[in-house]
Structures are given as structure tokens and as C-alpha cells.
Amino acid sequence: MVKVYYEDAVVENALEGKTIAVVGYGSQGHAHAQNLRDNGHQVIIGIREGKSAEAAREDGFDVFEVSEAAKQAEVIMILAPDEIQGSLYEKEIAPNLEAGNSLVFAHGFNIHFDVITPPADVDVFLVAPKGPGHLVRRTFADGFAVPALFAVYQDATGKAKETALSYAQGIGATRVGVLETTFKEETETDLFGEQAVLCGGLTSLIEAGFETLVEAGYQPELAYFEVCHEMKLIIDLIYEGGFAKMRDSISNTAEYGDYVSGPRVITEVAKANMKEVLTDIQNGTFANNFVKDNENGFPEFKKMRAERAGHQIEAVGAELRKMMPFVKTID
């Protein structure tokens, strides 16, 4: 059974007296940096010049090139996009690592798939909040938090676990619970969740439902409302109370249809395809394809992005959202 750690698990502040370099100041970067600072830690930002660097300065942080930030810090949290971490590490972080430093991640991709090979004399761990950065920051400011995962990959100092839990406390996660895992488990389950359910599975399901209704002669606008717009209402109910609360909140007609029609759509064939997706993640096929496409300038990625952006549901949704001023965008 998974082990969960709370505030009382942090017996000492293993980050005391240490400088933390947060590399990147995007969604997760700004949240980690601000939460850590609010909890009394010394935080600097490592990032190239641009809008994010200016935003970090406006928020009161000292901003440096990544190499300089890595040189100054004892704890380096890499929150740059997965596809650039390998190059960033080799060129700017690795030359400035010292024995006893902590190399930290919020996702195990680059360590698990051997894109980054850290030296044996540094601690390597991950602390991964299970929510987007804006939520990590907002809940912290409200006195609450987003749960997180943590894992130790390399314990050079004998104190990697203590440092990881102190970091988790620093961003607020120990207020609600930090689950212990491994780099392998976090990486593979995270990728599978994104691809098969949360992003890939969900968007493909919505698109297929939209196409089915439109091809049957129904108005695209009604199709959008039925298979896309109302998705948030259902997900919110599941988020709050699981399938039980959702099914208790919908009509008997909808619940009956859930039971008889859901298994007709998500069949054993779909589950078999999910297993193939998981296999490609586990054996490195997905990671290799992703890394190679990035090295070539992302031609396949850009092509798929453009194709999906041109789907009819996007144009219909853009027009309908103009009618709904209550729909707020997330930064």
C-alpha cells in the first residue's frame, strides 16, 4: 500500500541554509519558487532572458543564467520542458554541480529514460505536485495545498529523502499528503495517464462523439454542447466525489445509459490498445520517438498539432465560448 507523508514526517528542515535554484519560471516554476520563498527558503531563478525572466524579476526574484544559478545553488530544481532538459543539463548544469548537491525534478522522464545521467556524488529526487502550477500556487496562498509524489533515485548524501520531504513541505504539499513512489512508476503512470485517458483518450473520445453527431445530421453547435462543453460538469462531480457522486447527481436516464452504453464504446479492444500504449511507454518507444522528433525540430509534433487545431470542433467551440463570458481561461 502506498505510503503517505504529512507535516510531522519532516523532522528537520534539510533545506535550511541552502540556496534553491528553480530552473524555469513557467506554470510549475513560478509556483514552486513563490511557495518556497513564502516558507522562508532562499530561492533564485535560472532562466534565459525573455518574458519569463522579466516576470520573475517583477515578482522579486534574483534572476541568473542557468549556469550561474546552478553554480550558486545547493539544490537545483529543473522545471524546464522535458524536451530541452537534456541539452540544458549537459551545457549549463552538469559543469556546475558539486558533490553533495541535490538535482531535483518534477517528472522522472529524463532520468528514467537515460537522457540525463547524473554524477554519483549528488542526490537525485523528484517532487511532483499532482496539479497545474496555478493551482499549486493558489491553494498554497489559501492555506491549503495540492498533493504531490516524491521519489529518490540516488542518495549520495544519505539525506536525500529528508531533503525531498523538506522540499515537498516548502511548496506546501505535506499539508495534504505526499505519496512515495519511484522514478519508474511516476514516469510510466504519468505518461500513460496523459496519453490514454486525460489528454489523448479524452480529446479523441470527444472528437469521435462530435463527428458521430455531426455526420448523423445534427447541428455542430448542439454536438459541441453535448460532448464537450458539459464534460467539465461531469469531471467536476467526479473530482469532488468520485463516480458515485457523479452518478448520484445525473438523471436516472443518464445513469442507465452510462451502464449500458459506456462498455460498448470502451470495449476490450480499447483496453488492449491501452496496453499497447503502456508497452510503448515502458520499453522506451514513446520516449525515443519524442526525443528524436525534438532533435529534428519537431516536424511530426507540429504536423499533428496543426491537424488537430484545424478540427471543426475547435472552430465551433471558439464561437460558442463568445456567448459564455463566465468561461475563464487559465494562465
pLDDT in tens, 36-67: 999 999 999 999 999 999 999 999 999 999 99
C-beta of residue 65 within 8 angstroms of C-beta of residue 48: yes
Give the residue ranges of the annotated binding site.
25-28, 48, 52, 133, 190, 194, 226, 230, 251
| pLDDT, tens digit, 9 for 90 and up, residues 298-319 | 999 999 999 999 999 999 999 9
List strands edge to edge, sheet with 4-5.
4-5, 178-180, 148-154, 123-129, 102-105, 75-78, 19-23, 42-46, 63-64
| CATH number for the domain formed by residue range(s) 4-181 | 3.40.50.720
* Model pLDDT, residue 329: 66
CA atoms within 13 A on the CB side of 257: 5
What is the torsional sign of CA 85, 88, 92, 95? positive
Does residue 229 carry a catalytic annotation? no
What distance in Å separates the CA atoms of residue 136 and residue 258, rounded to the nearest whole number?
33
Q: What pLDDT score was predicted for residue 274?
A: 97
Residue 293 scores a pLDDT above 70: yes
Residues 186 and 94: their CA atoms lie apart, in Å, by 24
pTM: 0.92
Residues 6+ apart with CB under 8 A from 10: 162, 165, 166, 168, 169, 174
Averaged pLDDT score across all residues of the chain: 95
**Which residues does the annotation place in the binding site for NADP(+)?**
25-28, 48, 52, 133
What would the pLDDT profile of 148-202 be if each residue is shown by its tens digit?
999 999 999 999 999 999 999 999 999 999 999 999 999 999 999 999 999 999 9
Question: What class, spelled out in words, does domain 191-322 have in CATH?
Answer: mainly alpha
Percent residues over pLDDT 70 in the chain: 99
The active-site residue out of 107, 112, 134, 311 is 107
DSSP 31-53: HHHHHHHHTT-EEEEE--SSHHH
Residues forming the annotated binding site for substrate?
251
Which of 37-41, 81-85, 327-331 shows the lowest per-residue confidence on average (mean pLDDT)?
Answer: 327-331
pLDDT of residue 331 exceeding 90, the answer is no
What pLDDT score does 133 carry? 93
Q: Where are the domains of the chain?
A: 4-181, 191-322
